[in-house]
């Protein structure tokens, strides 16, 4: 698959202008990263088995909840580049406008950093790296989809 194909197609079809990603807040990166990560997890869950929607959701939630994302990013730390680690830290240290639901504050901040990293990589057309990190992180955290 061509690197960044989905992002390029979205930008072309919807006539999106060129943005300077360095101006995006870490919470903006986390916002798009949350959607990208959830799409990856939902795609894998659906591709693994045709089940009823409640079962699909129950399985997916195990991977997208803050505590799971915190475990994934902790397992990924040794594999991150300096640039990736910096983006993660910016996201982790951001001050969210909402409170953590069903998660510790620490896990919530780590999950926000993880989502910011995923969003950053996605918006910089590094889909291959997103998929590599998600796969490696899920495996390194002792989870299997």
- Of the candidates 34, 55, 107, 125, the residue annotated as catalytic is 34
The question of whether 34 is a catalytic residue gets the answer yes
In 3D space, the residue among 81, 84, 1, 131 whose CA is nearest the CA of residue 139 turns out to be 131
Could you tell me if 101 and 20 are in contact, meaning their C-beta atoms sit under 8 angstroms apart?
no
Residues in CB range of 58: below 8 A, 6 or more apart? none
What are the C-alpha distances in Å from 119 to residues 21, 51, 63, 67, 91? 10, 29, 17, 19, 10
- Cα torsion 38, 28, 140, 66 to 10°: value is -70
Catalytic annotation, residues: 34
């Amino acid at each position: 698959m061509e690197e960044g194909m989905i992002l390029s197609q979205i930008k072309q079809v919807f006539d999106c202008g060129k943005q300077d990603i360095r101006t995006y807040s870490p919470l903006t990166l986390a916002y798009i990263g949350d959607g990208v990560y959830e799409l990856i997890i939902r795609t894998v869950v659906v591709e693994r088995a045709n089940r009823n929607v409640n079962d699909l959701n129950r399985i997916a939630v195990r991977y997208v909840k803050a505590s799971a994302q915190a475990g994934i990013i902790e397992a990924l730390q040794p594999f991150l580049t300096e640039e990736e680690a910096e983006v993660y830290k910016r996201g982790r240290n951001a001050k969210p406008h909402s409170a953590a639901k069903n998660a510790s504050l620490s896990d919530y901040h780590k999950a926000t950093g993880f989502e910011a990293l995923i969003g950053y990589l996605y918006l910089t057309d590094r889909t291959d790296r997103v998929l590599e990190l998600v796969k490696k992180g899920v495996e390194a955290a002792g989870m299997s989809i």
